[in-house]
Structure 1
Amino acid sequence: MGPHDRILGSSPGAASAGRRSVTRTTGRSVSRRQLIGGSTAGALAAFLAACTGGGQTSRQSVAAAGGSGGALQWWDQFRPLTKMLQNDLFTPFMQSHPGVKIERRQMDAPDLGQALQVGRRSNQMPDVHSMAGLGGISPAALVSEGWFQPIGKLADFAGSPLGDQLYDGVHRFNDEIYSFPPFSGRWHDAVPWYNTALLKEAGVDAEEGPGTWDELREYARKVTNGTEGDVYGTVVPSKEAEYLQNLVHRLAMAAGAPGPGAIDWKTGDYVFDSEPYVQAIEFLVALQKDKVVHPASASMGARDGRARWAAGQAGIYLWGAWFVGGLLVDEPEAVERGVGTWHLPCPTSTRNFVYNGAQAGTFWVSSQSKQAKTAAEVMLQMTTKEFQLKLASAMDQPPALAEVVAEAEVHAAYRQCVANFQDDVRIGPVPEVGNPAVWQVLAEMRDLHPNLGDIVQSVLTGSTTDIAGELKRFNDKISAERDRAIKVVQEEKGAKVDRKAWVFANWDPKKDYDQQAYAGR
């Protein structure tokens, strides 16, 4: 999702350790406590000064939502989907519904979050929007705070092809459907993408993907040493702590960590200080010691890293499924030169799964919207096989009906990537589904620093070498913070929640944790 700078949900870090990030770019963001507790005047002034992806201020974007002559306003961060949404969703709907006008604004995730916060305060919200840039807050929290209105009685989402993917506590609240997952939950954002020309020049047999981390290191060394010019085996953009945090979460899962969110579902304990997390960070350090990482990585964001890869300066880059779609938008010549993908390797030949929770809703109808029925009817079109095929063709995050990718018009590398996800990814537990009061705990939890991303950043820049010690200190802090938050919501809000809300004793690491699993918990 998102200019590829994003993707859809919340960060798997400090307070939102039970959920997985969908944000691809970092920058200014709205914290959970600001969102739930209200923002200061100074913070709002900063939001108003923020620039959107269209070069406007947040104030101008908000004003546009209320001054478009009755047009249905739609805001999101999905840059690779721009043409598809306009040509295959909005235009056909407007043609079949005379008098309906839909206007969409695409912004980078941080700017979208700020614009939404300003719009909320000024009663100028768009009719439909995504949650990118809203600080990883649970949808349940925003539903409780009155941000959204239900859509299940306005259009038949329960009877749609995605009806069996609707979860209580994720899409359905108090028996009312508020959203749906147009995208699949079976994905991760550490896909190894490679430049076929550079690997061929380096004598690497790209068809034989690296099965282990050591093999990936060997491939990176061959690219660095076996190609002409200033070419490096890989690029690890380290400017943005969130990219590093998400990367280490995925690598740790490949090393055997549970997920999502660094929670041991058998005990409910955080495991940031476990051996898989140490190994994951040590692997990134080893790449640096091998001198195969692009030397400018420390100054790069995720999109910068992709641009350097596209320019032929690095052979391998770990990012999400949206990689190809993003290249086709911004650097199509790189796709023409050749791009391929592998399974995410593991430390040893033993294969471990990467985990995601059930995919959250992507688009929500604002409680301020006067066009909720129209908005719901537009959104319902996204559940059809026809639209899911078009969604697949945009090559962003895989569509919810992932099977349509096999027949969609997509690049071979994207098709392979989605096929790999079916083998490599399993759906893990989401605490809010098991106990809706969990969101109150997550909202109460304070952001802790240094968090996982900060720690990885410090290690890669040489500010610290005590990987195990830093992880242990963070694990102790976040555990104590969760205990504090639980006590607060118990005593002040009467919430019926305790540490057991994070325990899923019937979790089978080899299987999806589905709706039946919640029922049998």
Structure 2
Amino acid sequence: MTVRRSLSAQARLGRQAQARLTRRSFLTASAGLGVAAALAGCGGGFGDSSGGTSGGGSGGDGPEFDIPDAPSGFPTGDVTFRLVDSNDTKAPYWEAFFEAYQAKFENVTCQYDGLPWNRIEEVVPLGFRNGSGHDLIQLPGSITLAQAVSEGWVSPLDEFIPDVEQWRGALPDTLQVEGVQVFDGLLYQVPLATDQRYQQAVHYNKQLVNDAGFDPQSEPLTWDTFREAARKVTEAGDGQAYGLILEINQPGRLSMWVEYMARIAGLPATGNILQPSGEFIHTGDEIVEAIELLLAVQSDGSLFPGSNSLTAPECWPRVVRGNAGMVFAGPWVTVQWENENPDFEFGVGALPTPGGGDPLPVGYIPFGADALVMSATSQVKEVAGHVLAYVTSLNGQTRWGEITGVGNPPMHDEAREASAADYSEQARACLDLADTMTALPQPAIVNPDVALVAQREVAPSPNFGEVIQSILVGEVTDIRAALTDLKDRHERARDAAIQEATTRDGSTATRQDWVFSNWDPTRDYTTEDYAGR
């Protein structure tokens, strides 16, 4: 039995596309603004593409899909159920699941449209406008859930999920926040994956790095030994191999790396906001020092020539080929290397630490990823609810983890562990790094009106990643002056957006909604902590 897939050419493009969340949407989400962008998720990471079926797990072995029987109200005549999302590592799951679903319910034809983000930005709004939309939808970053609810484009899930009280009781509190996923007590959106992924791990060629005397997976690097390792790999490579390859032509990855490094070094930041001052992070000493570390590696001659023009997907294969020893990447690269280069020996380690103290953990947004909504015009809401209930169940989530692999772990903790039973050493290392991360506080939980600010805020240009890029390519030499200018532009943009949202939208959001005086960076910020902020 074949799952129907329309726009198949676009679906194939989706696996190759580099389009994911833009840097703007990531900064918005990490500041607690763009909840829709965070929930949209990015199975291959920001601006990255994992390409093809993901591994890092059993890849389809293990328990079969244990799909429940049809609930009351389920259609008996022939119907077509349609789902659209951003493809990447999710596609193999949907294809396998829909084949099983059609086998169980012969009257249901499942149509899966896995599209690149630029096509989702076209297809989904058009479907909302003319009433021809898919039944389950991954919202584009340009449409917030609050907007979709207020416009009547999406339906609450509660009425169409079987045993909804039990189902909602199993969901974490952070996935049922009024003004985020819930409006007037009704749940409109649910994620399938977690955003607790360590997206800047050191992925390295074991032969090159081990021969240089280092093994970051067993002995994490410090800033000094990272620079030394890069230099020794370069020296041994004699012009054929370099210590580090960097995606300088992908600014969003640069800013994420700097933020990770600064946070590990002690920067008290929740997203791009300092605590407890509520100011933007860009002039912090840790930010400057992280950038200076990259400049030092560059001045040593340890950076792969041509890095200025490379994106992340263009960097990864060069490590496999032995042209570079190390690259910073998320778990989707572990998946890709294991699938496409099964004989390649590589390791996965944590980011370098400054040394001289315990590093702080990296934070993540606790709203999940790859979230779906139900179209208000769907003619098969009972099917859509039945599908959502299963794919968020323990069995459905375990299968998700097995098929999508470590690159896109399920949001269900028990399923995440169960699906990892047969993971490789490298995939387990990715999960172990993710387990060190802590849940960040979210302004949207404090005051849902921050979403109104997000809609009004104009991101500074050039942005953080573009400023770092300009520094690395030599266009900017005064680092602190450039970062001070960036911070000032961010502060003005935030203040202007708050004022405009207050005047035009009736927003009650203030700068204090981004302040969490009781935040402890070494542990998860829980729902109980909000009362004491």
> Normalising TM by the smaller chain, what interval?
0.7 to 0.9
Tell me the residue number matched to 1:338.
Answer: 345
Contact 1:197–1:337 (CA under 8 A) maintained in structure 2: no
Matches within 5 A, 1:4-23: 5=18, 11-13=25-27, 17-18=31-32, 22-23=41-42
CA distance in 1, matches of 2:210, 2:29: 44
Tell me the residue number matched to 2:73.
Answer: none
The number of equivalent residue pairs is 474
RMSD (Å), alpha carbons = 2.8
Tell me the residue number matched to 1:421.
Answer: 434
* 204, 208, 230: which one aligns with 1:220: 230
CA distance in 1, matches of 2:338, 2:116: 18
Displacement of 1:145 after TM fit? 4.0
Deviations 1:345-366 (A, max 9, x none): 2222421111112134522223
Matches within 5 A, 1:373-452: 373-393=382-402, 394-395=404-405, 396-407=407-418, 408=420, 409-423=422-436, 425-452=437-464
Provide closer, same or farther for how the CA distance between residues 431 and 342 of structure 1 changes in structure 2, counting only shifts above 3 A: same
CA distance in 2, matches of 1:227, 1:158: 61
Greater mean alpha carbon deviation, residues 110-119 or residues 443-452:
110-119
Gaps of 5+ in 2: 1-13, 53-77
Provide closer, same or farther for how the CA distance between residues 354 and 391 of structure 1 changes in structure 2, counting only shifts above 3 A: same
Contact 1:162–1:180 (CA under 8 A) maintained in structure 2: no
Is the counterpart of residue 83 in structure 1 residue 95 in structure 2?
no
CA distance in 1, matches of 2:183, 2:17: 29
Greater mean alpha carbon deviation, residues 267-276 or residues 403-412:
403-412
CA distance in 2, matches of 1:355, 1:86: 33
Provide closer, same or farther for how the CA distance between residues 72 and 203 of structure 1 changes in structure 2, counting only shifts above 3 A: same
| 3-state SS of 1:243 partner | helix
Displacement of 1:313 after TM fit? 2.0
Tell me the residue number matched to 1:282.
Answer: 292
Contact 1:346–1:352 (CA under 8 A) maintained in structure 2: no
* 363, 371, 393: which one aligns with 2:372: 363
Contact 1:355–1:427 (CA under 8 A) maintained in structure 2: yes
Contact 1:13–1:245 (CA under 8 A) maintained in structure 2: no
* 488, 492, 496: which one aligns with 1:476: 488
Return the letter of the residue paired with 2:466: D
Greater mean alpha carbon deviation, residues 449-458 or residues 354-363:
354-363
Displacement of 1:413 after TM fit? 0.7
CA distance in 1, matches of 2:318, 2:516: 42
Q: How many percent of aligned residue pairs carry the same amino acid?
A: 28
CA distance in 2, matches of 1:188, 1:204: 21
CA distance in 2, matches of 1:326, 1:77: 17
Displacement of 1:76 after TM fit? 1.8
Deviations 1:173-194 (A, max 9, x none): 2211122232223223111111
CA distance in 1, matches of 2:17, 2:206: 22
Return the letter of the residue paired with 1:400: M
CA distance in 2, matches of 1:211, 1:176: 47
Matches within 5 A, 1:238-249: 238-249=248-259
Matches within 5 A, 1:42-61: none
Tell me the residue number matched to 2:497.
Answer: 485
Greater mean alpha carbon deviation, residues 461-470 or residues 395-404:
395-404
Provide closer, same or farther for how the CA distance between residues 429 and 269 of structure 1 changes in structure 2, counting only shifts above 3 A: same
Displacement of 1:15 after TM fit? 8.4
Provide closer, same or farther for how the CA distance between residues 508 and 200 of structure 1 changes in structure 2, counting only shifts above 3 A: closer
Contact 2:175–2:368 (CA under 8 A) maintained in structure 1: no
CA distance in 1, matches of 2:329, 2:414: 22
CA distance in 2, matches of 1:173, 1:259: 29
| 3-state SS of 1:12 partner | helix
Greater mean alpha carbon deviation, residues 212-221 or residues 160-169:
160-169
Is the counterpart of residue 262 in structure 1 residue 272 in structure 2?
yes
Deviations 1:252-285 (A, max 9, x none): 2122223442112423222222112212222222
Tell me the residue number matched to 1:139.
Answer: 145
Contact 2:82–2:134 (CA under 8 A) maintained in structure 1: yes
Greater mean alpha carbon deviation, residues 291-300 or residues 475-484:
291-300
